[in-house]
A = this chain, B = another copy of it.
Amino acid sequence: MGTYLVNSLATTDALAHEFSDESLLQAMLDFETALARAQARLGVIPTSAADAIQASAHAAHFDAARIGREARESGTLAIPLVRALTAHVRAVDASSARFVHWGATSQDVADSALVLALARARPLLSADHTRLDATLRALSDRHAGTVMLGRTLLQPAPPITFGLKVAGWVAALGRGWARLDRAYEAAMVVQLGGASGTLAAFGDRGPAIVRAVAEELDLTAPSGPWHTDRDRLAAVVSSAGVYTATLGKIARDLALLMQHEVGEAAEPGGGSSTLPHKRNPAACAVAIAAFLGGMLQEHERAVGGWHAEWPTVAAAVQATGAALASLADATASATVYPDRMRANIERTNGVIFAERVVMLTASRLGKEGAQAAVSEALARTRETGQSFKDALSAIPDVAGLLSPEELESIDVPEQYLGAAEALRLKLLAEG
Contacts and interface: CB of A to CB of B under 8 A. Distances in A.
Contact of A312 (B156, B296, B326): B296
B276 A305 contact: no
B4 A378 contact: no
Contacts of A171: 223-224, 229
A405 interface: no
Contacts of A358: 276
A30 to B, nearest CB: 15
A78 B270 CA distance: 12
A289 B270 contact: no
A242 B13 contact: no
A258 B258 CA distance: 16
23 contacts: A5-B21, A5-B68, A8-B72, A9-B71, A75-B153, A75-B280, A76-B273, A152-B195, A154-B255, A154-B256, A155-B279, A157-B275, A200-B355, A200-B420, A203-B418, A204-B419, A224-B424, A241-B302, A249-B304, A275-B354, A276-B371, A288-B305, A296-B297
Given A347-B261, A354-B277, A368-B98, A168 B229 contact: yes
Most buried by B among A225, A242, A277: A277
B417 A155 contact: no
Contacts of A356: 200-201
Copies of the protein in its oligomer: 4
A292 B283 contact: no
Contact of A423 (B223, B256, B348, B354): B223
B272 A429 contact: no
Interface string A291-320: 111111111111111011011101100000
Interface of A is mostly: helix
Interface stretch (A120-128, A130-138, A172-180): A172-180
Contacts of A234: 241-242, 245
Contact of A1 (B4, B297, B351): B4
A426 B223 contact: yes
A150 interface: yes
Given A1-B4, A418-B199, A292 B274 contact: no
A359 B103 contact: yes
B241 A158 contact: no
Nearest to A352: B277
A132 to B, nearest CB: 16
A335 interface: no
A188 interface: no
